[in-house]
Amino acid sequence: MKITFVGAGSVVFTQGLLADLFAFPELGGVHIALHDIDGERLSTAERAGRYIARERGVSPRFTAHLDRREALAGADFVINIVQVGMAEATRTDFDVPAAFGVRQTIADTLGVGGIFRALRTFPLLRALGTDIAAVCPDAWLLNYTNPMAMNVQYLTEATGLTRVVGLCHSVYWTMRGLADLVDVPFEEVTYRAAGVNHQAWVLEFTRDGENLYRRLDDVIESDPELRRRVRVDMYRRLGYYPTETSEHSSEYVPWYLHHDSEIERLRIPVGNYLDIVEENTAEYERTRTALAAGEPLTVEGTMEYAPQIIHSMVTGTPRMVYGNVPNRGLIENLPAGGTVEVPCLVDASGVQPTRAGMLPPQLAALNRTYLSMNDLVVKAAVEDEPRHIRHAAMTDAATAAALTVDQIWHLCDEMVRAHGDRLQPSLRVTLG
């Protein structure tokens, strides 16, 4: 069996996924093919992978490839963790909007940052889809690259791939955190969530028939500092807890980032992701230095879904994970074809999304705005229509709350200039 990592130079993430994979004895002998366009990072990822394998006591076959198609040939699973443009492009996604007065915290899902992160990723996704169709057409593509929902929709519409699922750990870690808050062992909690990536909702939260939301209400009522979190504020107003951090959640609605008082009240860390980028770069340097010096690495599992999916499909072990997939009747009051996040059953037959039914109307209303923006970004690329980039920014709730329509168009022009040839040629136009 062959597992190909595309973007393996994201060394820290690659290490975590490999640690998870090698925790399963049945996967100890797999072929791990690593691909990246940065030779130094690729070499570091390979050395880190071999170290983790030794620590786990397994003997996989490792190959490293600067050529993507060579890495993909004959793959059974493809894990996409590419970040096009790396730290430089991420800083652009923050700095240019900030000059217009647009505040962002993570900038990888919606908003101006999310739009242009998608647009510079789409050309890679199209090429990746072409390669998969040519050299490993039966492979499952497990996508981690953000913006998750836009990327999965683009892959579905532009490449024709059908074995695609987007993976994110937000539901799992949200539920771990909620279990801790209500002082109930996670293993005893039953939960169900659905919605869109980074804005799904905890629809059921119980233990042995007890509604744990009531316990959560008591905890929140007794802790004023807990009430100073965006997603707690959203939960108290909407009635269902969102499945992503407050930093993420603040960006997808118009209520918080445009107001100084709300940033103070809810302790929103504007520009927070730039610190994460710096730490990721520093962690990569620490890993590279440790490997060169023969020093030990910290080998920790991450509980990510991709290794669990691969194990289930290889061994037939049934599991439930949360996946991002096209909405084909899964959530009835969200647009068909948009990417939704729902529980998925996994076994030897593959990843099988389950129907979530109808979301409460207040939740569906927010998710529909999110998916409408996504759809415009995908259409901009698929239809070679640069005006749809501006339409998407106009539709985005946080951007529209901060800027006039004319400012939005000028901001998009500046972002097009800043990202230059990372975009497909048809979208490299300014519309003033």
- What pLDDT, in 10s, does the model give residues 57-78? 999 999 999 999 999 999 999 9
Sign of CA dihedral 92, 94, 96, 99: negative
pLDDT at 301: 83
pLDDT at 280: 87
Place of tokens 């804005």: 199
pLDDT at 129: 97
Which segments in the chain show pLDDT lower than 50? Answer: none
pLDDT at 219: 98
| DSSP per position, 361-383 | HHHHHHHHHHHHHHHHHHHHHHT
pLDDT at 227: 97
C-alpha 329/C-alpha 358 separation (Å) is 10
pLDDT at 272: 82
- Classify residue 160 by its DSSP letter: -
C-alpha 364/C-alpha 24 separation (Å) is 38
**Of 266, 178, 171, nearest to 215 (Cα)?**
178
Domains of the chain: 2-166 (3.40.50.720), 370-427 (no CATH)
Active-site residue flag, 169? yes
- Classify residue 406 by its DSSP letter: H
pLDDT at 298: 83
For the entire predicted model, the pTM comes to 0.96
Sign of CA dihedral 136, 141, 144, 149: positive
pLDDT tens digits, 74-132: 999 999 999 999 999 999 999 999 999 999 999 999 999 999 999 999 999 999 999 99
C-alpha 104/C-alpha 107 separation (Å) is 6
To 5 degrees, how large is the angle CA 119–CA 411–CA 363? 65
pLDDT at 55: 92
User: Which residue in 31, 169, 258, 410 is the catalytic one?
Assistant: 169
